Structure 1
Amino acid sequence: MKKLLAILFSLLLSFSTIVSASVSNAPIHWGFKKSSNEEPVEAGKEYDELLEKYGAFYKGDPKKKVIFLTFDNGYENGYTAKVLDVLKKEKVPAAFFITGHYLESASDLVKRMADEGHIVGNHSYYHPDMTTVSDERFYRELEKVRAGTEEITGVRHMVYLRPPRGVFSERTLLKAKEMGYTHVFWSLAFVDWYRDDQKGWQYSYNNVMKQIHPGAVLLLHTVSKDNADALETIIKDLKKKGYTFKSLDEYTRGEAMKDPIFKIRKRNK
Structure 2
Amino acid sequence: MTVLFTVTISEESVASAAINEVGVEWWWNKDKKPDDRQVDEIPQPEGGPEFDGRVRQPVSNIILQQRYPETVVLRGPMTENRVALTFDDGPDPRFTPQLLDVLSKFNVPATFFVMGARAEAYPEITKRMANEGHIIGNHTYWHPNLVQENIASLKREIRQTEDVIADLVGYRTKLFRPPYGFLYNELVEEVAELNYTIIGWSLDTLDWRELGADNIAYNVINNIEPGSIILMHDGGEWDADRTGTIESLKQIIPVLQEQGFEFVTVPELLSIPYKK
The aligned runs of 1:1-269 (5 Å cut-off) are 30-34=1-5, 46-52=63-69, 54-74=70-90, 76=92, 78-153=94-169, 155-194=170-209, 198-223=210-235, 224-253=242-271
Cα distance in 1 between the residues matched to 2:204 and 2:3: 10
CA shift for structure 1 position 45: 7.3
TM-score (norm 1): 0.73
Structure 1 counterpart of 2:267, one-letter code: D
**Equivalent residues of 2:111, 2:265 under 8 A apart:** yes
**Equivalent residues of 1:35, 1:213 under 8 A apart:** no
Cα distance in 1 between the residues matched to 2:2 and 2:271: 26
**Equivalent residues of 2:4, 2:204 under 8 A apart:** no
Q: The residue matched to 1:97 in structure 2 has which SS?
A: strand
Number of residues of Structure 1 aligned to a counterpart in Structure 2:
215
Structure 1 counterpart of 2:213, one-letter code: W
C-alpha spacing 1:252/1:45, structure 2 compared with 1 (3 Å): closer
Per-residue CA distance 1:38-79 (angstroms, 9 max, x = gap): xxxxx8974442241x42211111232110110002561512
- Could you say which structure has the higher helix fraction? 1
C-alpha spacing 1:187/1:35, structure 2 compared with 1 (3 Å): farther
**Equivalent residues of 2:64, 2:185 under 8 A apart:** no
Q: The residue matched to 1:138 in structure 2 has which SS?
A: helix
Per-residue CA distance 1:211-251 (angstroms, 9 max, x = gap): 21111000111141011112122111100011011122223
**Equivalent residues of 1:204, 1:226 under 8 A apart:** yes
**Equivalent residues of 1:74, 1:101 under 8 A apart:** no
Structure 2 counterpart of 1:251, one-letter code: L
Cα distance in 2 between the residues matched to 1:118 and 1:44: 25
C-alpha spacing 1:33/1:206, structure 2 compared with 1 (3 Å): closer
Runs of 5+ in structure 1 lacking a partner?
Answer: 1-29, 37-42, 256-269
> What RMSD in Å do the two structures reach over aligned CA positions?
2.4
Cα distance in 2 between the residues matched to 1:80 and 1:200: 17
C-alpha spacing 1:77/1:115, structure 2 compared with 1 (3 Å): closer
CA shift for structure 1 position 127: 1.2
**Equivalent residues of 2:111, 2:135 under 8 A apart:** yes
In structure 2, the residue matched to 1:3 is: none
Runs of 5+ in structure 2 lacking a partner?
Answer: 8-59, 236-241
C-alpha spacing 1:140/1:200, structure 2 compared with 1 (3 Å): same
TM-score (norm 2): 0.71
**Equivalent residues of 1:95, 1:118 under 8 A apart:** yes
**Equivalent residues of 2:205, 2:230 under 8 A apart:** no
Cα distance in 2 between the residues matched to 1:34 and 1:201: 15
Structure 2 counterpart of 1:249, one-letter code: P
CA shift for structure 1 position 105: 2.9
Structure 1 counterpart of 2:206, one-letter code: V
C-alpha spacing 1:216/1:152, structure 2 compared with 1 (3 Å): same
Q: The residue matched to 1:71 in structure 2 has which SS?
A: strand
Per-residue CA distance 1:177-218 (angstroms, 9 max, x = gap): 111110000011133225xxx443212211211221111000
% of aligned pairs identical?
A: 29
Cα distance in 2 between the residues matched to 1:44 and 1:108: 33
